Amino acid sequence: MQLVCPAGNLPALRAAIDAGADAVYTGFRDQTNARAFPGLNFDERELRQGIAYAHAMDRQVYVALNTYPDSVRLPHWQAAVDRAAELGVDAIIAAEMAVLDYACKAHPQMARHLSVQGSATTAPALKYAFERFGIARAVLPRVLSVQQVERLCEASPVPLEVFAFGSLCIMVEGRCQLSSYVTGQSPNRHGVCSPASFVRWDEHDDQSRSVRVNGMLIDRFAEGEPAGYPTVCKGRYDVRGEIFHALEEPTSLNTIELLPRLAQAGVTALKIEGRQRGVAYVRAVASTWRQALDRYRDDPQRWSTDAEWQRALSAHAEGQQTTLGPYHRAWH
């Protein structure tokens, strides 16, 4: 299986390649990608350097163009497709049908991967994207059980990629409206949950900190309590007098124990989430998964997880907690 790792900037790209990633995924420095944080992503000069570095090591670079333009802004996404082709990326990762259609017609030689934002969770959806837009791969949303993944691998006309580690999303990807509800800016269209311009941190006399998104209080942290980037879905709320993570707890997906089952199902690629994370995260997570994949390749019958792998991954997880998420559902 291919190991696909995040690269939010050039140092992260190099770290991922050096740690054993088979491919990295990146984004342009605009709203065409779903991680449009200030200070993140690539301009053309940096991406040229990154592609050259990856290709020199016989690795691949994918560019995420996975947000949803409205009709007025569609030419900007089309121009991004043209830029990706001119730069020589190995594939684009797209969700919106007009973007996929343009790429299919204008640059048929460039591989097209259906983004997780495309929310393809059924065999007919995958078949449609393959027949209509010639996709070469599809990334499955993080809402499926492992049994559902196995059935899709049997029925899909294209190779499938699944998320293996990183932040979870409680929504059907590409459909989240929480950030849009609070700020008026959707991650589907504007490329980021909780845009930084709407986030405000306040320190209080008791050394606690509170965080608001567009004026809405979403969490309060005691002195010394770890705090991640504030997204609406992972806030704590007062529900009938009880304060808790009402929507989703800050915990990371970790499927390393499922590696043999995913391999046997026919999964083509394992994706690590985290273009917004730093170089240390990318290096540690990529290195850990490289070891696990190499050990499975060398001796699949006697493969087992390593306690040190779990410690390394937990250290870089949200809240230092990990879960199998929807993969372990008893019902499916």
Distance CA(270)–CA(160), nearest Å, equals 9
Question: Any idea of the CA torsion for 34, 38, 39, 40, to the nearest 10 degrees?
Answer: 0
Distance CA(1)–CA(255), nearest Å, equals 14
> What is residue 83's predicted lDDT score, i.e. its pLDDT?
98
Distance CA(79)–CA(81), nearest Å, equals 5
Residue 253: HSE in the Cβ half-sphere, 13 Å Cα cutoff = 25
Which residue from 274, 273, 255 is spatially nearest to 265, judged by alpha carbons?
Answer: 255
Q: Residues of the chain whose pLDDT is less than 70?
A: 171, 330-332
Summarised one tens digit per residue, pLDDT across range 272-318 is 999 999 999 999 999 999 999 999 999 999 999 999 999 999 999 88
Summarised one tens digit per residue, pLDDT across range 95-137 is 999 999 999 999 999 999 999 999 999 999 999 999 999 999 9
The pTM is what?
Answer: 0.93
What topology does CATH give the domain 2-168+251-328? TIM Barrel (3.20.20)
251 within 8 A of 138, measured Cβ to Cβ: no
Distance CA(104)–CA(223), nearest Å, equals 53
Distance CA(128)–CA(119), nearest Å, equals 13
> What is residue 17's predicted lDDT score, i.e. its pLDDT?
98
Please enumerate in sequence order all residues whose Cβ is within 8 A of that of 97, keeping only pairs 6 or more positions apart, or say none: 132, 133
Backbone angles phi, psi at 289, to 5 degrees: -70, -30
> What is residue 174's predicted lDDT score, i.e. its pLDDT?
72
Strands of the sheet containing 199-203, edge to edge, are: 199-203, 209-213, 216-221
Task: List the chain domain ranges.
Answer: 2-168+251-328, 188-244
Distance CA(56)–CA(50), nearest Å, equals 10
Please enumerate in sequence order all residues whose Cβ is within 8 A of that of 26, keeping only pairs 6 or more positions apart, or say none: 7, 8, 13, 41, 42, 47, 50, 61, 62, 63, 64, 275
